[in-house]
Amino acid sequence: MTPSQPPPPNLRFRIYATARSGVQAARRLVPAALLPPRRDLSASLAIGVTTYSPRYERFLRPLHAAILRIFPEVHLTIAVNGHGSAAEQARYLERFQREICATAPSHHRFLLHDRPHGLTTLWNAMLAASPNDRPLLILNDDLRLHAWMRRWAEGFDWASVQLALLNSSWSHFAIAPATLQRVGAFDPGFPGIGFEDMDYTARAGLAGVAIGNHLCGYLRHQDDKPATTSFDAISARVWGKYTSANQEHFAASWEPCREGEGIWIKQLHGWVRPRRPVEPVPLRSIPASAWQGTVLFADRI
């Protein structure tokens, strides 16, 4: 390569990626106090977070504080799953109400569960509890948000979102109301965690909804692998932390097929097609009378 020649494409990308990483690293050092909001995001997006008791201190409380600080005006829904014995869960929900719900702003909503439910049930409940005129950004609780996430969100085109992952992960993704109309809600037949993302990928593909991907250097998935989950009593584990019953439910709905005869699933490195006709799953609404202020006891309605 002579000096007059441009660097090869892969080298150009490496130079670009290195420069981008350096800029993002510098921005992550900027404190939130120096990043006041530049525009109102209350009508642009809503946020939803799923959590359960073992992650309260280490993950949920810091994440909730970060959302309050970075996105103070944005509608937030937190779905708290059941875990452990009934007595332990009751004590946890009492603490959660005292420490989180009681001091939260009026545009925050809390879905409290007495019993364990599959992740899709929590996602659907958050979709039903959130405004239906903007995308919902669904987050795991084991995330760290940096203050510059505000600037990133202010520059993002939320109106263009159909179904989009951040950093190629279903640990943080955005879904629009129009996508729910075309694809339907998440399959509530998944009793635990795992494989529900592959199911929705396949159903979105059949419905003609492309899944976007957007890079965001201001949120970090800490990828917690808990010693226990809410589902260990009903199912074994596969792929490290996922529920074997979810794997079985996926296999009962989809079968492997040849290239081009179905939908490509990245995690499986293969193609699948439905075993039976696929219909959109309706999203179950929440009666207004079920709310106690900003709190819903989801297992008591």
Q: What is the pLDDT of residue 32?
A: 66
Q: What is the pLDDT of residue 231?
A: 77
- Note whether 137 and 172 are within 8 A (CB): yes
Number of domains in the chain: 1
Instruction: List 271's β-bridge partners, or say none.
Output: 257, 264
Dist CA 77 CA 292 (whole Å) = 14
Does the residue 196 lie in any domain? Answer: no
**H or E, element range at 119:** helix 119-129
Q: What is the pLDDT of residue 232?
A: 76
Does the residue 143 lie in any domain? Answer: yes
Per-position pLDDT tens, the chain of length 301? 334 445 566 766 566 556 666 766 677 767 767 788 889 999 999 999 999 999 999 999 999 999 999 999 999 999 999 998 999 999 999 999 999 999 999 999 999 999 999 999 999 999 999 999 999 999 999 999 999 999 999 999 999 999 999 999 999 999 999 999 999 999 999 999 999 999 999 999 999 999 999 999 999 988 777 777 777 777 788 877 789 999 999 999 999 999 999 999 999 999 999 999 999 999 999 999 999 999 999 999 8
Q: What is the pLDDT of residue 23?
A: 66
Does the residue 172 lie in any domain? Answer: yes
Q: What is the pLDDT of residue 230?
A: 77
Does the residue 219 lie in any domain? Answer: yes
**26 exposure class (CB count in 10 Å sphere: 0-12, 13-18, 19+):** exposed
Does the residue 273 lie in any domain? Answer: no
Does the residue 267 lie in any domain? Answer: no
Angle, helix 244-253 to helix 196-206, in steps of 10 degrees? 20
Does the residue 27 lie in any domain? Answer: no
Q: What is the pLDDT of residue 37?
A: 84
Domain with residue 56: its CATH number is: 3.90.550.10
Does the residue 178 lie in any domain? Answer: yes
Q: Which domain holds residue 125?
A: 37-188+203-226+282-300
